Amino acid sequence: MAEFAFKIDAVSSGGRAGRLTTPRGVVSTPAFMPVASRGAVRAVAPDELAATGTRILVANTYHLHLRPGEDAVAALGGLHRFMGWPGAVLTDSGGFQVHSLGELRSIDDDGVTFKNYINGAEIRLTPEVAVHIQEKLGADLIMQLDYCTSYPTPREEAERAVEITTRWADRSMKAQKRGDQRLLAIVQGALYEDLREESAAGLVAMDFFGFAVGGLSVGEDSEKMLAAADFTAGLLPEQKLRYLMGVGRPQDLPAAVACGYDLFDCVVPTREGRHGSVLTRNGRLNIQRAEYGLDEGPPEPECDCYTCTHYSRGYLRHLYLAGEGLADRLISIHNITFTQRLMADMRTAIIEDRLDAFITDFAEAYIGAAS
């Protein structure tokens, strides 16, 4: 069984092309992780995901703890077998729900208490419990429990988030028992550079396998998000894995890669699919528009995904307007393929030392089409 490792192969204009080695295979970076919060990517089967170029998924500790529970997942062979997914898996710790379920949780120095949105019962997560759950789930990469703030964040709350997250990182590391998983710490600090510095310094001193940057893409605009991401990347060890959490819009990914991050995740490809938006190099295509009713062409002519090689824009429009679930599936397959191709093209551009030119060309085609 392969050992965990991360190696940088090339750097261009801040972007890094690397290789993340896991027991489930090698993940070429920069890499995008489709979101499988409850153990499945919306509407897309594992074999279809593999065909898009996906090599690693992100699942969610909080949601899997609620249903079916980590004991059930373990009894059914662990997360990979449970999902029927042969590639790598990263599990979030439940820290994002500190942000997204703000009205259903309370935080103290020891952990987080949630109200179960399914049955109203009380759920308690501590750093130790979050690690224990993730060890039972059996993911390859696991995350510390953190205090993820929302936007805007008062300085007093951001200070508390940094202090708590740093202490919880230490507790998470001490709680880890399995040797076939690797733990990542999460830098907090909202948009306060001095707090980002404090958070990174405390975590880097603990020498984790990799470092994630959280508390971004939580309501702030892209300019603020990218500025904070760029600043924080400069605080992290060059040879360690870097994960920018929750970032995955096509207009954000190239600049985020240029900041020096290796892993990304976002629900955008499947969420846009459910809303009839097809991602292409020339911007979004709204499949609902009447002009596509008799369009025999593929969603994106240059794409070789299953959807584009089998179906027309006219057919996808029909499916979407008829409320057929196949529309979600087919558009999501294309959108994930589009995102994975974008990541692969950026990796090639980094290796060939032309990332700047690639970003300029992509922006002119994708963002320019929307202006």
Each domain of the chain, given as residue ranges in start order, spans 5-266, 273-370
pLDDT digits (tens, 9 = 90+) for 97-146: 765 666 667 899 999 998 887 787 888 999 999 999 999 999 999 999 99
Residues of the chain above pLDDT 90, percent: 92
Determine which one of 92, 146, 262, 328 is catalytic.
Answer: 92
Q: What is the mean pLDDT of residues 149-164?
A: 96
Residues 230, 265, 304, 361: which is the catalytic one? Answer: 265
pLDDT on residue 213: 98
Q: In this structure, are residues 242 and 210 in contact, taking their beta carbons and an 8 Å threshold?
A: yes
Spatial separation of the C-alpha atoms in residues 243 and 204, rounded to whole Å: 14
pLDDT in tens, 309-356: 999 999 999 999 999 999 999 999 999 999 999 999 999 999 999 999
pTM of the model: 0.96
User: Are 125 and 111 in contact, with CB atoms under 8 Å apart?
Assistant: yes
Architecture field, domain 5-266: Alpha-Beta Barrel (3.20)
Round the average pLDDT of the chain to a whole number and report it. 95
Report whether pLDDT(371) > 60.
Answer: no
Q: What is the pLDDT of residue 116?
A: 80
Per-residue model confidence as pLDDT tens digits over 276-291 = 999 999 999 999 999 9
Which long-range contacts link 74-81 to residues 24+ away (Cβ below 8 Å)?
74/136, 74/137, 74/138, 78/137, 78/138, 79/39, 79/137, 79/138, 79/139, 80/24, 80/138
Mean pLDDT value across residues 11-27: 98
345 is catalytic: no
Distance between CA atoms of 97 and 224, rounded to whole angstroms? 22
**Which of 136-154 are b and which e, b meaning 16 or more Cβ less than 10 Å from the residue's Cβ?**
bbbbbbbbbbbbbbebebe
Report d(CA 195, CA 201) in Å as an integer.
10
Cα separation, 194 vs 177, in Å, equals 33
**pLDDT at residue 215 above 60?**
yes
Would you call 92 a catalytic residue per the annotation? yes
